[in-house]
Structure 1
């Protein structure tokens, strides 16, 4: 069951106020926490994708948000696990098929309010770190305006709030 996987992965993280808030949200809201459309807030799974040398990261220009951000999105009923959801979303939004999950653990937690063209009030995003070959062909999904690799030390203007900090945190797991 996906909810059990989410709780297990969150419990594996070091204790923190953020981890506890996520655990409380999932326990209190149950299925509403997992699926878009059941409540005003829900989980999302994202992927911080890096080149093998960790010098570049993949970003998409989000159509609704109007900002650059890591790839990711909503959980779906066919997802076997939270990591599988992040891998699926990364592939759908980039066209990459050679994505490699770095470990099985969560590398980022970020709850953010939404506005504008979004139909929900907030995303409780859970991020994973992945590796891919930057020479692989990219495709732009209908949810994005662009998908590109950027040097980690020269991220584009117009990033989603907190995105640069999140990229650096996800990169840190690569050593």
Structure 2
């Protein structure tokens, strides 16, 4: 099964955000290249909010290009077999934390936003950090920092706040 096929199945099975879900599915049905950065009409991306539920905090990256505090995530790559693999790869690369595990139940939410390269149709997961996890800044970050759940609204935009809320509801 291709990554494109996996994304269609994941999105068709996703419950919630019906209008936005239909936009994603429709995009993939009309764009065979809709998973890749080269698709200028927009592309599916995968992200994961790294959480330390035992300490009530999330790890955010100060994204080098966007200059915003965001969850880990980005473009899918040809080696990614599934959206979950893409989200976990991005979270691991950008956080520097080995041993992350995605929360069960599939994506936590969807978020469509415009970036300098195109529209991102982001499929958002949540990843649990193992006990004692130590983060390491990647080349894509200006900073990497843990924030208490209630601090996120002070540093991040509404999309991240909604992702934290949805993740906490899932926990």
State the TM-score, normalizing by the size of structure 1: 0.90
Q: Which has the higher mean CA deviation after the structures are superposed, 147-156 or 122-131?
A: 147-156
Equivalent residue, structure 2, for 1:43: 44
Equivalent residue, structure 1, for 2:66: 65
Work out whether residues 58 and 147 of structure 1, in 8 Å CA contact, stay in contact via their aligned partners in 2.
yes
1: distance between equivalents of 2:62 and 2:41?
A: 24
Work out whether residues 153 and 161 of structure 2, in 8 Å CA contact, stay in contact via their aligned partners in 1.
no
Cα offset, 1:156, TM superposition: 6.4
- Match status 1:83 vs 2:84: yes
Equivalent residue, structure 1, for 2:140: 143
2: distance between equivalents of 1:26 and 1:68?
A: 28
Q: Which has the higher mean CA deviation after the structures are superposed, 125-134 or 88-97?
A: 125-134
1: distance between equivalents of 2:35 and 2:154?
A: 31
The correspondence for 2:20, drawn from 9, 18, 21, is 18
2: distance between equivalents of 1:165 and 1:86?
A: 18
Cα offset, 1:166, TM superposition: 1.9
1: distance between equivalents of 2:74 and 2:124?
A: 10
Equivalent residue, structure 2, for 1:109: 110
Work out whether residues 129 and 171 of structure 1, in 8 Å CA contact, stay in contact via their aligned partners in 2.
no
Measured against aligned partners, the alpha-carbon deviations of 1:45-69 in whole angstroms (never above 9, x if no partner) come to: 0001111327111100001111101
- Match status 1:153 vs 2:153: no
1: distance between equivalents of 2:28 and 2:131?
A: 35
- Match status 1:27 vs 2:38: no
How many residue pairs align between the two structures?
Answer: 169
What is the root-mean-square deviation of aligned Cα atoms in Å? 1.6
2: distance between equivalents of 1:75 and 1:126?
A: 11
Cα offset, 1:40, TM superposition: 4.0
- Match status 1:173 vs 2:155: no
2: distance between equivalents of 1:134 and 1:111?
A: 32
Structure 2 stretches of 5 or more lacking a match? none
2: distance between equivalents of 1:49 and 1:171?
A: 12
